[in-house]
Amino acid sequence: MVLAVSFSIKKWELKITGKGVECNDICGKKMIEGQVTGQETAKSGVAMVRISGAGVRRLREEQELTQLYLATAVGVTTETISRWERKDAPTIKKENGLKLAEALGVSLEEILVPVEEVAEESVETVSHSDQTFVSSVLVPAAFRNKVFWSIALLLGVFLLLFLLTRSGNEVTSLAARRIMPAHVVAGHPFPVVIAVGSGSEKNSSLLLKEELPAGSRLLRTVPQATMVDSNLLKWIDKNGSGERIFAYLVTLDPDGGPEDTFSFNGSLLIRQSSRSEIQVSGRSRIRLLPFHWADSDRNNVIDDEELLAVYDDFGRVDGLGVDMEEVESIWMGSGYHWDAEKTIFEVIP
C-alpha cells in the first residue's frame, strides 16, 4: 500500500508519501528524516535497523522455529530474541538483522518495520501537542478492531499447539554420528564425516556445529560450511529430510610428542525442538601414530575389509578430496612404512 496524504494544521505543513515524510521547519523535519526507511545509523557509526517484533515472531512460529534456534544462528541469547519479539519496533544492529533474516529464510526488508507504520509513528510524535490531529486518517479501521484480532490470536494459538503436537514424536529420533579414523600421521590429511538422521521424511531445518582441536588445519568442507570461525565450523541446512551428510578434510600439526591425542566436539540443534543441543556421537578422539589412517588394525597393511570400509565411510562424499589413489596403491602392495624424512608412505611391492 502506498500512502500519500497532504494536510495543514495551523502553521504545520505535512506531506506523507510511500517514500518518506516532508514538513516545514515548524513541525521539525529532523524528527522525521531517517525514520521512514526502517534503517538508521547510531552515533557510534554502526548501521542499525528497526525490525518488526511481531513480524519476527510470526515468521518464527509459522516455520515452527524455536527462540533457541534463532539465538544460536544470530549469536545472541534467547532472552535477546524474546525481547526483540515483545517490542513493537526494536532497533538492532544491521549485522544481526541480516543473520536473523537468513535464519528465518527471508530478506532483511521483510522483517523491517513497514514504511507506513514508521510514518504514522513519526507523524503522531510530531503532532502530539496538537489535539486537532485526527490519527484515524492514517490508521485503517481493521487495526482498531479488538474483536477481530482476539479471534485471530486465539486461532493462531490453537494452530501452533496442533503443529507442535504433531511434530513432537519426530524430533525425538534425531541423531548425529561422527565417523573418522582412530589414528593419523601428523600433517597427513584425513577425512571426517558427520551423518545426521532424523528418522522422518519430513523436511526440517538444522544447525550443526563442530569444534576442531587446537593444532588442526582445515582443508575442505562438504557441503561448504555456512561459517568458519577459527576452529569452529557451522552448517545451516534449511530444506533437508532423512539422512544428511556433512564432511571435512583436515590435518593435525602437534606441538607435543608423537602420540598426542586430539579431541573433537560437535552439537546439533534442530527446529521444532526446545530441548538443549544434541551432542554428536561416534568417535571423538584421534591419536598421532606412524600408520596410515585407513590401516585400522595398524599392521602396516591395508587389507580388503579396510579398503571397503574407506569406500563405505568416505568414498561416497563427492568433492571431499580423499586421496583414494594412495589408499589403493597401498592395498595393492604387500605392505608399507612411513618415511618421516620424506614425509611419505613407502609402498612395499
Domains and CATH numbers, the chain: 5-139 (1.10.260.40), 175-348 (2.60.40.10)
Q: What is the pLDDT of residues 281-299, one digit of tens each?
A: 999 999 999 999 999 999 9
Which H or E run includes 338? strand 335-339
pLDDT (0 to 100) of residue 166: 58
Residue 42's pLDDT band (cuts 50, 70, 90): low
End-to-end CA distance of the chain: 78
| Nearest Cα residue to 235 out of 190, 191, 205 | 205
Mean pLDDT check: name the lowest of 56-60, 78-82, 241-245.
241-245
Q: What rounded mean pLDDT belongs to the chain?
A: 78
Sign for the pseudo-dihedral over CA of 222, 224, 229, 233: negative
pLDDT (0 to 100) of residue 330: 96
Q: What is the pLDDT of residues 161-195, one digit of tens each?
A: 777 665 544 444 678 999 999 999 999 999 999 99
pLDDT (0 to 100) of residue 220: 95
pLDDT (0 to 100) of residue 311: 93
DSSP β-ladder status, 285-288 and 183-184:
parallel
What are the grid coordinates assigned to 164, written together? 507442535
Torsion of CA 288, 292, 296, 298, to 10 degrees: -80
- The winner for highest mean pLDDT among 30-39, 130-139, 188-197, 276-285 is 188-197
* Local structure of 208: helix, strand or coil: strand
* Residue 50 CB burial class (10 angstroms; 0-12, 13-18, ≥19): buried
Rounded distance between C-alpha atoms, residue 66 and residue 207, angstroms: 12
What are the grid coordinates assigned to 289, written together? 601414530
pLDDT (0 to 100) of residue 38: 54
